Amino acid sequence: MRVAGMICVDGVTGEPLVQTTVDRPGSPASVTKLMTLLLVLEDIRAGRLALRSRVSVTKEAADTGGSQIWLAVGESFTVEELLYALMLKSANDVAVALAIDRAGSTATFVARMNRRAAELGLTRTRFVTPNGLSYGRGPHDTSTAHDLARLAVVLCSMPEALRFTSAKRYVLRRPMKPMEMLNHNYLLDSFPGCDGLKTGWTEAADASIVTTAKVGEHRVIAVVLSCYSPLGAKPEQRLRDQLAADLMRKGLAKKVAEAAALARATPSPPKNGPPSPPEVGFWAWLGDLFSF
């Protein structure tokens, strides 16, 4: 097994809870789509776009390979539909369609991704695609576990992002050929409180995941970047998921322990009503004091 980096952070503050190597660069593959999601959602928040806005499919988008929903030139879909496809199906063609719609070209959109990464302090991150799809010797999108955790903290502060990342199933209503899409993040079913965020795998980049769970008042985010196994793709992905689940378990246990320690150290507020009688030891001391 080989992993570029692993980290679990507090989902609100970004405080590291469990970590190994966090600044070694790796290729995030489809985890890259989290930045595409963020930029689209920020455009919606700014009023430049709406979930019901329609996006037309260009030839460049339709020709994109890898995981896809087989877009056809001239089709159009709402932004909402495409965001479900982006997160559940990890559709590379959808990422290109959104990129062209938002910036006029994929190159311009990728430049915007890198500017936003710099604004967020992701100093070891460099995007070259809107979807993480790259081949052979690259160039590849690159990031670190620490940088991806910081990006995830921003997304977890947006309920609208978790709406898409937590969905387990969505049916894309195409004329005559509806498509059922199932989320690739199997931790949504197996880890209590898991509601995101994104998996990734390519032969060149190996397996990565950014995932999050909220249990009670505690939210944690785990990142496993570029997990390699000599046994092949499926074992790599299973190992990646196991490592991420273990990180979240340890992170949540630490948050619970911290909360318990804080509760023990915090004095209880005074109760209303008559004061409690002194302990028995007090009366013994008082009796000894006045004994002659």
Residues serving a catalytic function are 30, 33, 90
Residue 74 pLDDT level (bands cut at 50, 70, 90): very high
What is the tens place of the pLDDT at every residue in 39-70?
999 999 999 999 999 999 999 999 999 999 99
Give 2-262's CATH code, choosing from 3.40.710.10, 3.40.50.720, 3.40.50.2300, 3.40.91.10: 3.40.710.10
What is the tens place of the pLDDT at every residue in 75-115?
999 999 999 999 999 999 999 999 999 999 999 999 999 99
CB within 8 Å of 97: residues ≥ 6 apart: 55, 56, 57, 58, 61, 71, 77, 82
Domain chopping of the chain, boundaries: 2-262
pLDDT at 291 over 70: no
- For residue 30 the two structure tokens come to 């489809």
pLDDT at 6: 97
Mean pLDDT of 3-8: 96
What is the tens place of the pLDDT at every residue in 140-180?
999 999 999 999 999 999 999 999 999 999 999 888 789 99
What is the tens place of the pLDDT at every residue in 194-231?
999 999 999 889 999 999 999 999 999 999 999 999 98
